[in-house]
Amino acid sequence: MKKKADKKPESISALAKAKGMKPSLVHSRIRRGWTLEEALLTPPRKIAKPKKAEPTVVNDMPTKEIQSTQSHDEAMGWLIFIVVCAAIVGAFIFISQ
Helical (H) or strand (E) element with 95: helix 63-96
pLDDT digits (tens, 9 = 90+) for 4-13: 555 666 899 9
CA 51 from chain center: how many Å? Answer: 10
> So what's the pLDDT on residue 1?
45
> So what's the pLDDT on residue 60?
65
DSSP code string of 47-90: PPPPPPPPPPEETTEEHHHHHHHHHHHHHHHHHHHHHHHHHHHH
> So what's the pLDDT on residue 20?
92
Domains of the chain by residue range: 11-41, 59-96
pLDDT digits (tens, 9 = 90+) for 17-54: 999 999 999 999 999 999 999 999 999 988 877 777 77
42 DSSP assignment:
S
pLDDT digits (tens, 9 = 90+) for 72-92: 677 788 889 989 989 998 888
**Cα within 13 Å of Cα(21), Cβ side:** 22
